[in-house]
Amino acid sequence: MSFGDGNPTYEELMEVVQRQQEVIEIFEQQMDACRLESRKIVEESEKKSEIIKILEETESLMKTEIESLRNEKNELMEQRKRMMSSEMREEKELETIEELRLKNKEMFYNLEKMKTQQAGLEIELETQKKNNEFLRSELELEKLQKQEEKQRITENAETMEKEKKQKCDELQKNLSKCQIELAQLKTEIQVKEHREKQLERLYEDVMEEMKETRKDKSAVMVRCSSMTAECAELKTRIQQLRAKLPRNEHDIEDMNKLLGDQSHLIAALREETKLLARKLEVDSREYRQTIKLLKHEKRELEQRIEAFLRVD
């Protein structure tokens, strides 16, 4: 049934309502898609709380729009019911045609408004998708950078671990080598100390022998001096006796024999003194050489110990 050339029919109104229902379903599908996208974005990065907030606000706005569309749909359904009632009472209520015409215009106006809102929502949804794609690419890039950074840190850590292990091995080898050298040095020091003690004892023995030799030499020198004095005195006495006594060959022979014995004794004492002096000189020379060698070995040992301490 038609209300005139400018009025929509019942079928047209039903078609409008059907299109609105389809639009609402499309919006609901888009809302579900947006919700899935939002969940994916939330799962990809918990740090993007601002994105979630924006999506929640967008979802809230879209829910509000959908609720508004549903209200308008319900209103259109009510209008359809009223129109059905109006058709049943058409003959009785012809005066309502003008009112229906106005309502029809209002419905077309609302429909155009809904189309405009739908276009705006589609544009906003497309913009939101682009933003989501941009954010997703940013998240992927950030994730890739984090993976590269993690890989770089892992590689650096492995390299540092290898270098640390090599350094530890080298230090362990050097430590073992130093311990061996230290043990050798300790052994050498002990040997040197033992030799020093032996040389000290030898030095003490030599010094004692030198003291004894000097004492013997002094005693011999005293004896030589005494014998020389006695010999001189005897010569003087012999000369005096020769001057006083008549010459007697037997006495002269005895005196000459006595003088010869005295001379032999003095020569023997002199020879013994020379031997003791030569022995003292040889012992002193050997002692000086031994002391010089010992000082040289001690200096080398001190240099080796100092070099070993510098290496540590």
Instruction: Tell me whether residue 1 is in a domain.
Output: no
pLDDT of 269 strictly over 50: yes
pLDDT at residue 3, as a whole number: 40
Which of 167, 187, 213 terminates a domain? The answer is 167
| CATH for 278 | 1.10.287
In a domain, 3, yes or no: no
Q: What is the pLDDT of residues 6-19, one digit of tens each?
A: 555 666 667 776 77
Q: 48 lies in which domain range?
A: 10-167
- Model pLDDT, residue 5: 46
Task: Please tell me whether residues 128 and 248 are part of one structural domain.
Answer: no
Nearest to 31 by CA among 6, 4, 63, 9: 63
Alpha-carbon distances of 301 from 50, 187, 289, 304, rounded to whole Å: 77, 11, 18, 5
Percentage of residues in the chain having pLDDT higher than 70: 61
CA distance 251 to 253: 5
Same domain, 151 and 198: no
* pLDDT tens digits, 30-49: 667 766 766 666 566 565 56
Same domain, 109 and 186: no
Using the CB atoms, write b or e for 35-68: b if 16+ within 10 Å. Answer: eebbeebeebbeebeebeebbeebeeebeebbee
Q: Which of 210, 225, 201, 198 is nearest to 277 (CA)?
A: 210
pLDDT of res. 300:
80
DSSP E strand stretches across 12-75: none
Q: What is the pLDDT of residues 89-121, one digit of tens each?
A: 655 555 555 666 676 677 777 777 777 877 777
Domain count of the fold of the chain: 2
- pLDDT > 70? residue 54: no
Look at residue 48 in the predicted model and tell me its pLDDT.
56
By the 10 Å C-beta count (0-12 exposed, 13-18 middle, 19+ buried), 220 is classed as buried
pLDDT at 1: 41
The answer, yes or no, to whether residue 148 has pLDDT greater than 80, is: yes
